[in-house]
Structure 1
């Protein structure tokens, strides 16, 4: 009887702790654009889903890209999204719907670096609905993080930032509100289709930039392993897989010519072996769109909104041209 009472007290204590942690999460963990992204792709059928990095996020507007095709799309690109994330995001999408096409935006530097533990994983994991994919993602990524990370996800953000957002955060969560106006900032705005439109920046105000150079000798095996798995996953589910690289400013291509040449050679050969279409707008499709600095907001290849929408139309014509005729 004594042991039973101790057990009851322990259970009550654990329940109280769980409730406190949940309350703190509701109060302090901000509503990010990834929350909106995951909500959309798990509740709405989309023909085309775009995965990749911040370059894809700011350069590809699904509405402009698919104009005239009768297809729908969503941009799931995020800065810090590695192949492991793209793989589990695709698994989650397939668990909830069945897209016709997956577009994978490739930034070479992501393949020679390892994903940082912590907030970069939580950004996705925190928003995954309860599912088999969430359990698998946790087992293969979050177990390598500090065990406190998934429990105290709000710890990854500064308290000052969280407190400034707390009123809106609680309101959005308690009312299941996904209004994109909450995600509008001074330099950019989020659209319902996942595209983040960046406001123009004068060239003289571009931030300094040190690119992550590519070398095939530094490619991380884990990154290629998950890219392999992503391609297989799409083939197994009869989903078209397309790879692409966004156009970069000509000055940057010249400045790091050897590194980019090695990257284009490496991935062109890789996708050729995999039987995957690779649309590289810095080589084969270089002349399809302008590479002037005025099209960008920095030296890293992030386009301003007007340029991104114009490029997205070009991208759509190149990749989905036949669909517009049907």
Structure 2
């Protein structure tokens, strides 16, 4: 062996080790990593023949409340909801980047759920890898997100999908994973083929799931109790920083950013101090020059709603109310675009007027 080969040998061994590691991780992810809605919607937004000009961002409240088809029926838009349960503002920033890759996006409807602004949000919260791990490794957005996430968490979690691994000894689960990933539905990102249990209802298209009605009224009293009083805390720096990045991205790319808050369970609005929260949001978005519509102030004669229209006291809508709300949202967006929106036609002047109406 000549001297050049001896010098190159350590590098060759290192390269073989790295390639071998990538192959092993790839095989493990393929066999053990469960896949579902997130993978499908991220693939759908880039591979669908439709050119979406309007993207909905948000978390579970948005996914169960906003039907893009209803918006499109009122406004001259082609809308897709990229709202994903557990989607933090950091996730929303990268999801927006990915959504714009193959779509001429002109407008973003951002659902502002105050739980992601006033709660104990920190980077790494919600096991952040669960969304970005479903991006393709061929996506530059994935690599940007990966590099950033690797600064905040174990490199093994940042690089692999082990967060969603099934039990390797559960041969039935491994078999089902492999069958799914070899199916035409998987290759074509056919969301209709999925059984998305956390959606609590059927997929209707364009990122919207129709949540079925439940018996006995809304659940989740204990969870709501843990949020009482948080309206008096400050907005966390983490979501604020990433919202500003979203705003900067939209400004740079000529995208209009419209913020909305979907209405939550009426009995929780006053209890959780959403009038106080609204003041903070209006001030924050106003200083940034961002349009903000809080549909908790929507007139009851325009959007009638009561607790039994929700699956839980936290505010996840059942499908029938979501359809009605999305219709109203579409009208507001349409009039907003045309510059003909009269706020008094859709909203109370204040939360005091809302509270008085609901009490009566």
Do they superpose with TM above 0.5? yes
**Shift of residue 86, structure 1, vs aligned partner:** 1.1
Partner residue, 1:154 = 162
**Structure-2 change in CA distance of 1:92 and 1:8 (3 Å):** same
1:274 aligns to what? Answer: 288
Offset at residue 79 of structure 1 (A)? 1.9
- Aligned to 1:16, the other structure's residue is in SS state helix
Alpha-carbon contact 1:209-1:300 (below 8 Å) kept = no
SS of equivalent to 2:239: helix
Q: State which of 133, 149, 157 in structure 2 corresponds to 1:141.
A: 149
Instruction: Determine helix, strand or coil for the equivalent of 1:279.
Output: strand
Q: Is 1:24 aligned to 2:24, yes or no?
A: no
1:135-188 per-residue CA deviation (whole Å, 9 max, x = no partner) reads 222222332111110333134445289865544432343341422244224533
1:180 matched residue in structure 2 = 191
Change (3 A) 1:198 1:116: farther
| Aligned counterparts of 1:140 and 1:59: Cα–Cα separation in 2 | 31
Aligned equivalents of 1:305 and 1:88: distance in 2?
28
Q: Deviations over 1:217-253 (max 9, x none)?
A: 4321121111112112112211111000011121111
1:195 equivalent to 2:208? Answer: yes
Label 1:179 to 1:284 Cα distance change in 2 as closer, same or farther (>3 A). Answer: closer
**C-alpha distance 174-159 of structure 1, shift in aligned 2 (>3 A):** same
**1:17, distance to aligned residue in structure 2 (A):** 2.7
2:242 paired residue number: 226
Give the whole-Å Cα distance in 2 for the aligned partners of 1:36 and 1:29.
14
Q: Counterparts of 2:159 and 2:215 in 1: how far apart (Å)? A: 42
1:11 matched to 2:15? The reply is yes
Conserved? CA contact 1:104–1:243, under 8 Å: yes
1:126 lines up with 2:133 in the alignment: yes
Q: How much has 1:323 moved relative to structure 2?
A: 6.9
> Distance between the aligned counterparts of 2:218 and 2:236, measured in 1?
34
Q: Is the 8 Å Cα contact of residues 82 and 115 (structure 1) preserved in structure 2? A: no
Unaligned runs of 5+ in 2: 339-360
- How many angstroms apart in 2 are the aligned matches of 1:7 and 1:234? 44
Over 6 Å off, 4+ runs: none
Alignment-derived partner of residue 291 in structure 1? 305
**Hey, what's the Cα distance between the residues in 1 that align with 2:263 and 2:114?**
13
Whether 2:40 is the aligned partner of 1:33: answer: no
Query: What's 1:98 paired with?
Result: 104
CA-CA distance at 1:134 after TM superposition: 2.1
Larger Rg: 2
Structure 2 partner of 1:255: 271
Number of equivalenced pairs: 322
Task: Please state whether the residue corresponding to 1:66 is helix, strand or coil.
Answer: helix
Cα 1:284–1:297 shift into 2, 3 Å: closer
What's the TM-score once normalised by structure 2's chain length? 0.80
Render the CA deviation track for 1:56-96: whole Å, top value 9, x for unaligned: 01100111221154522111112221211111211222233
The match for 2:357 is: none
Distance 1:127 1:70 in 2: 31
| Whole-Å separation in 1 of the counterparts to 2:169 and 2:321 | 31
